[in-house]
Amino acid sequence: MNYTLRTAQEEDISVLKKIISESTRELSKLHYSEEQIELALESALGVDTQLIKDKTYFCIEDQGEIVACGGWSYRTTLFGSDNERARNNTLLEPGSQAAKVRAFFVRSYYARQGLGSMLMKKCESEAIAMGYSKLELMATLPGVKLYERHGFIQQASIEYQLNDETTITFVSMSKQIELV
């Protein structure tokens, strides 16, 4: 396949929302309940427009159709959509803080075809160019294997509160990267 990687634009948001929903519903169903998935899509998983404004969120296209998305951030927020209650857009210090890898989603038909790796290479190279020597992320359970293949180490599993009765398991991960 001949994929094209490009920076996401505001006009992509409606398509990105569909990809995130489809990807989460299809690729997470072996790890999470339907209730967890639907509640997570309301807050923890979704489009973060700050990444699009910062030009650190990317799309991969196959013949003009967006089939994957993901990015990184130089801001404090570790994960979550625009609806996430614990957002913090404070700028990070490249020399002392870790850049954040954010919101990787792939249409289920395109899963395990190297698109996550393509996004990771782009994010790493941009973070390195900005002076970061460490990356952090909050992985969903289906994403852990991808991140481990790229050298991320599990730090801790957390139970994220989705509502009064329901939590979802995420895994915090980090990686040292080599500055060029």
Strand segments, DSSP code E, in the chain are: 3-7, 57-62, 65-73, 99-106, 134-140, 153-161, 167-176
Which amino acid is it at 60? Answer: I
Q: Look at residue 180 in the predicted model and tell me its pLDDT.
A: 62
Does 101 score more than 70 pLDDT? yes
Q: Is the pLDDT score of 125 beyond 90?
A: yes
**β-pair type (65-73, 99-106):** antiparallel
Q: Is the pLDDT of residue 14 over 90?
A: yes
- Helix 34-42 and helix 13-27, axial crossing angle in degrees, nearest 10: 160
Strands in 167-176's sheet, in edge-to-edge order, are 3-7, 57-62, 65-73, 99-106, 134-140, 167-176, 153-161
What is the rounded average pLDDT of the residues 17-44?
A: 97
State the pLDDT confidence band at 29, using cuts at 50, 70 and 90: very high
**pLDDT tens digits, residue range 55-76?**
999 999 999 999 999 999 999 9
95 pLDDT band, cuts 50/70/90, is: confident
Structure tokens at 170: 């995420």
Burial class (CB within 10 angstroms; exposed 0-12, middle 13-18, buried 19+) of 127: buried
Mean pLDDT (whole number) for 22-35: 97
pLDDT of residue 84 exceeding 90: no
Confidence of residue 86 (pLDDT cuts 50, 70, 90): confident
Q: What is the mean pLDDT of the chain?
A: 96
